[in-house]
Amino acid sequence: MRAAACIAFVCALSLHLFNPPTLVSASSLDRRDGIPSAAADAENIVPGKYIIELDSPAAGSKHKRSLTPHQDFYDELARRGISVETGIEFNDPNLFVGLEVSVGNSADLDVILSMQRVVAIRQVLMMAIPPLVKYQPVNGVNDPALPPDTQSTHVMTGVDKLHAQGNFGQGIQIGIIDSGIDYLNPSLGGGIGSNFLVKGGYDFVGDAYTGGNTPVPDDDPMDTHRGAQFSVESRACYGHGTHVAGIIAAQPGNIYNITGVAYKSSIYAYRVLGCTGTAQDPVVVEALLRAYRDGNDVITLSLSSGSGWSTSTTGVVASRIAKKGRVVTASLTNDGQMGAWNTPAPASGDDVIAVGSVENSVLPSINVTLSDGHAPIPYFSLRAFPVSGSLPVYATSTDVTITNDACNPLPANTPNLAGYLVVIRRGGCSVATKFANAAAKGAKYFFLYNDGSALGIISSGGYIAVLIRAEDGVYLVNSFASGANVKVTFSPSTAPGFTEIPGGGLISTYSGMGPTYDLRIKPAVVAPGGNILSTIPRAFGGWGVSSGTSMATPFVAGSAALYLSARGKGDKTARSVKKALQNTAMMVPASTADGAPYVSVAQQGAGLINVYNAIHARTVVSTSELLLNDTAYGNNVQIITLSNPTKKSVTYTVSHTPGLTISTINSATKLPYTSPLPTSSQAASVSILSQKFTVWPGFFNGFILSIQPPAGVDPKTFPIYSGFVTISSSLGETFSIPYLGVAAKMKDMAILDRTAQSFGIQLPALLDSAGKVPKPNQTFSLIGNDYPAILYRRAAGTPSFLADLVMPNTQVPGVTPAAKKRGLFWNWLNGIFGNNNGRITVPSGSFFNVPTVGPVQSFPYKPRHIVASDEGNGYDWVRVTSFLNRTAIPNGTYRLLIRSLKVTGNRNVEEDYDAWLSPVFTIGTPSNSTTTTSTSTPLSTSTSASTSSSTSTPVSSTSSSTVSV
């Protein structure tokens, strides 16, 4: 049977409605609201669930061909007396063979790992879907009569030129792994099957899937909206997959004259998301393998799960598919404001094209007229303001520089605003607060004028409100202040047009930021993702505007289809897509000002794609990115070759274009910087040998360059330096190669958050299950909710997280044995359970050369935490309720030792762990036979791994006994 627990894969899209939405109720976990309860599960893993990868005949297995890998594995389990609950089986010998299992006794994992068939074990992860950026359904309007293919996003990326040449992605098959597709939308072909745009697909989860129940697959990948369940909370029900599909393949002839990037491609839909926007990790792997098996040339996933590493199952499988000659695109997060080191899976996969977002250059808008003869003013919306006639203007403040307009209740002498168009300046508080304060005085209609923030279609919070440009708001406010009594006239039948906006083509503020912890450049490229008009389910109007990396990702998938359609299908061509898009991408500046510096490669990758240039480039550049590593493992000297396949000699000129250096870690708190990250113009020192040279027809030549970290930057801030090696040719071509390095040693990066910023108490913290600070040496019965727990946050990702119960006088050398068996995660599992046929002894002997009682928790490859108010990835707990194998902890006095391996750290070196030792606590029956009540006693001072712990005498009644489990 399929396992019920799930990993929530992030739909990298945000949702707001012009209609009144159901507001999301989220518990804030910052210090103002106190410490969370340990009963709230904040771990991003599914306890007891794993994906086991098996050896396969195609991989050179020496096992009998008469047995399938799975049957061989099951027989071996039976011989060893091990019982597991099995879920999805994976059986693609060329990509991934394995299965999903639930293991009741964690000690059995060591036995499983000893089996010859087992290659690796990876944990199944869980994560909550993040808040959405923007979404506005449209009821439908008159045809704005736009000429064909003047879409701003197509013009920005060269798609319009390819369409003019007749390239619409013909002959290319694209698989969309998402929430399904409303294929009955006329703009998506109106049906499913061989005669339609959507040729087929599969629903892996079923219409009632919540992410926590058992999937019920079927053959119909319809993007089911489930009617009344639609709300901001039911984030996948609004048609995420349908919007993605329209960006790729919306058909011409619709009322907006919008077409997809590759609208003559063939589409296959693979539904993995239900109305909760969550999916099991194994379900997504299953969809990836099916999409590959169905022959899709391009596979796109606007889904993500917290990672920071390239080792998750989805990242590994997606990367293998890309190596096999299929293009795989995947979205970054919408957490750009949370800083660097935040690459999710599967985008973190080595060969996956990770995609970030830039803003659209235009916004849908509708004009209003003014009674004083001033030029019409546009407001940003696809839906006409529901007012017929004119309204007088009322400004809540006549100060056009005010930073908190209407953030407080309006003055008592404010008139009844029911008959006015109320004009309020953006900023200082939420728009909901502004509108509520004005509504308290009767206001019904609102113009919110911009304060310099990015323009877009705003969430109205149930009010009739739209955003207008700053200069238009200033004009209305000044007219009101002068007593001009200007009236604004609306026409509900007015069709929307498009207004150019400043900031088009710049990086979206929400776009996630890399790199990975192994210093891979992520994103690879960026594409238009802000304020994108595309298809949505018919139930919501058929068309809507959305923003997010979810929108940028299918744009790149469609662009890849154009490339394959022009260059021809095939493994070699498919593997060249990423390089071609990167080499011909356009560098993105930090602003629209003349001479503005370019943003970090950690934010833009190679830059904004230009698929026309990618297809028509003749020179072949040997590489598309330069990974310089950190200062401990510098890779600073590079050799680049240029091949000239033309019939005439070509002269090349090489130069250097620096990007901004960004500081990623606060040197005082050792926590990641959040937006805006500190930047510096101090650039890498680049020396180029052979800056200008000629390559004969059919030959290649190259150049050597040295890229050294910038001087004068503080390594304690872990500065990311980056830029571009730019190449121009006598053919008129321009190429660039992004580079990225860290001007510090990654091993020096602190893993554990040791501040009090998040909850008002020093972390890590020993608490009780209710989130209260216990008394010194408090006794816990481990009955019900009476147990100790460690609240902690990770400031950086770690390859290995360990939590062990130790005696109160323990010394902490922090040495971990080396791995002795193949497999990605064998080392941490074998370290936990030893090599004793699945049995451990406690507490005698030693564990990692540290006298311990037993392991309580262990995870490989954990990401950094981001926001403390996000239960899914803001903090974690170590709950001391039993040993890792679920056996009882003997009565006694203990500490808990937490160790996190540093990035690039050696598991055998004590100093390579960021370690923390808890205050003393006692396990046992309290003297009064009742649960001890927690108090507000201050936390005890923790001891680092390199310092001896308390010398108090152990009081465990079983301190010298041996317990086999």
Q: Please list the active-site residues.
A: 178, 240, 550
Give start and end residues of each alpha helix (H) in 201-271: 240-249
Residue 568 burial (CB count, 10 A): 10
| DSSP letter (8 states) at residue 273 | -
DSSP string, 517-582: TT---SSSEEEEEESEEEE--GGGTSEEEEESHHHHHHHHHHHHHHHHHHH--SHHHHHHHHHHHH
Report the DSSP beta bridge partners of residue 525: 355
Amino acid at 538: R
What is the C-alpha separation between 530 and 470, in angstroms, rounded?
19
With a CB cutoff of 8 Å and minimum separation 6, the contacts of 194 are none
Determine how many CB atoms are found less than 10 A away from the CB of residue 836: 11
List the Cα angle 297/119/217 in 5-degree steps: 50
> Distances from the Cα of 73 to the Cαs of 56, 593, 835, in angstroms?
11, 62, 20
Question: Phi first, then psi: what are they for 523, rounded to 5°?
Answer: -70, 165
Q: How far is it, in rounded angstroms, from Cα 537 to Cα 596?
A: 41
User: For residue 838, is it left (φ>0), alpha (ψ between -120 and 50) or beta?
Assistant: left
Residue 586: DSSP 8-state: B
In contact, 781 and 926? CB cutoff 8 Å: yes
- CA separation for the pair 16, 55 (Å, rounded): 47
* DSSP string over 10-53: EE--B---SSPPPPP-----SGGG-PPPTTS---SEEEEEEEEE
Task: Give the C-alpha separation, 261 to 612, whole Å.
Answer: 12
Give the whole-angstrom CA distance, residue 801 versus residue 824. 15
Q: Is 63 helix (H, G, I), strand (E, B) or coil?
A: coil
Residue 364 near residue 380 (C-beta atoms within 8 A): yes
Run of H or E residues at 438: helix 431-439
Distance CA 588, CA 799 (A): 33
Instruction: Read off φ and ψ for residue 688, nearest 5 degrees.
Output: -120, 120
